[in-house]
Amino acid sequence: MNNRVRPKLTLNFLYVTIVVFTFAIDINPLITIPASASVSHHPIRRYSPLITKPIIGISYGDTLVWDSPSVLAQTLNDAVAIGVTSIRLDLGWDDIQPNSDSTYNWANFDRVMQAAQSRHLTLLPILSYTPTWARPLGCTTSKCAPADPNAFASFAEAASMRYAPQGIHTWEIWNEPNIVAFWQPTPNVAQYVNLVSVTSKAIKAVDSQSFIISGGLAPTSTSGGNIAKLDFFSAFATQGGISLVDAIGDHPYSFPVPPAYNAVWNAWQNMASIESILIAHDATNKKIWITEYGAPTNGPGVGATPTKYNIGRSPDHVNEALQAQMANDSVLLARSSSYTGALYWYSYKDLGADKFTIENFFGLRRFDGSAKPAWYILQNAIAATN
């Protein structure tokens, strides 16, 4: 999703009581799905009690580096209070080298890194996007693929040389490269594989402990220049992409339904197909990192609720009660999965109060700073599964 009014609070008190009580009596509680949902009878992942628990984090986009010191401190203190252990954020090439390939401005990211590490939070930087001087001729946005992939790789190498000695070894290469919004002029699997190839090699050459994640794929259909994530990932695998990375990034947004809802269009359910591709390529040692998951709580269209998804009316958002349920269910599903390496909730705080776009409403907190029910439910789910 992009770097992303308050609807009336409709979270039923009984629902909160039941969820919290369930957490209190069992660290692996049964996932509660509304009766109207159709639930798959097959597990999305194989379960083993010996698996390493997935990392739970929050994805912030390109916001933290622009926060004042006081806001940054408050935001990261809140992350700790929720119980997450990691933060995902842009390490923007266009922020670090806005003017040329010979100068760097690391100051803003350094400040976030130091604040996060002082709170024992790990960082997952997203290596993206293209500064003006490195764009193809005619490109007017940072979301264009680099004119020279090697220039991007040089930036990534410089980032790794700077931050590996300070404990940052995990990197995500680009964000949602399968949609036009983030890879212009149009997504191209071969171009992306080439970018991952030169970038991964550059990072690993300077940091033997590095851990590379492919860019999280957006749920979409193959149309209008976009490439459906299973089409994209299948081609990525066929062209050797899996061997270039240590984990697979995915953004299995399921709204307007919970993650366990059984439908072919439910991106969370599609992770089973990603797993099948990994098995076919003898890569079951590589886990799926959910680097974004969440749901908007307002927008210009119809909304969904825990008891009425309104699927036939093409809802574009959910209410706060359903967002809270999705926070709960996503943690429980991720932490009972042997193929999930991480789950990052998107996002921390609403970006605005104008309903013209759903991008304003993905936060755990509203634009005025008040907590949505999902804040508390996410906190409880993490604590119950630790």
Q: Residue 138 and residue 286: Cα distance in Å, rounded? A: 38
Question: Where does the pLDDT of residue 15 fall: very low under 50, low under 70, confident under 90, or very high at 90 and above?
Answer: very low
Lowest mean pLDDT across 16-20, 288-292, 301-305: 16-20
What pLDDT score was predicted for residue 240? 98
What pLDDT score was predicted for residue 34? 35
Which residue ranges make up each domain of the chain?
A: 13-19+51-385
Q: Residue 123 and residue 125: Cα distance in Å, rounded? A: 6
Q: The dihedral of CA 305, 309, 310, 314: what is its sign? A: positive
Lowest mean pLDDT across 30-34, 224-228, 295-299: 30-34
- Give the closest residue to 381 by CA, choosing from 23, 117, 26: 23
* Average pLDDT over all residues of the chain: 89
pLDDT in tens, 153-162: 999 999 999 9
pLDDT in tens, 156-214: 999 999 999 999 999 999 999 999 999 999 999 999 999 999 999 999 999 999 999 99
Q: Residue 72 and residue 64: Cα distance in Å, rounded? A: 6
Global pTM reads 0.89
Tell the CATH superfamily of the 13-19+51-385 domain: Glycosidases (3.20.20.80)
Percent of the residues in the chain that have a pLDDT greater than 70, as a whole number: 87
- Give the closest residue to 336 by CA, choosing from 42, 96, 46: 46
Give how far the C-alpha of residue 76 lies from the chain's centroid of Cα atoms, to the nearest Å: 18
Does residue 25 have a pLDDT over 70?
Answer: no
Question: Where does the pLDDT of residue 9 fall: very low under 50, low under 70, confident under 90, or very high at 90 and above?
Answer: very low
Lowest mean pLDDT across 28-37, 112-121, 217-226: 28-37
Percent of the residues in the chain that have a pLDDT greater than 90, as a whole number: 86
Does residue 47 have a pLDDT over 60?
Answer: no
Does residue 69 have a pLDDT over 80?
Answer: yes
Does residue 33 have a pLDDT over 60?
Answer: no
pLDDT in tens, 99-158: 999 999 999 999 999 999 999 999 999 999 999 999 999 999 999 999 999 999 999 999
Question: Where does the pLDDT of residue 52 fall: very low under 50, low under 70, confident under 90, or very high at 90 and above?
Answer: confident
CA distances from 35 to 183, 292, 306, 307, 364 (A): 39, 27, 9, 8, 25
What pLDDT score was predicted for residue 316? 98
Q: Residue 361 and residue 208: Cα distance in Å, rounded? A: 39
Instruction: Check if the beta carbon of residue 332 is closer than 8 Å to that of residue 29.
Output: yes
Does residue 16 have a pLDDT over 60?
Answer: no
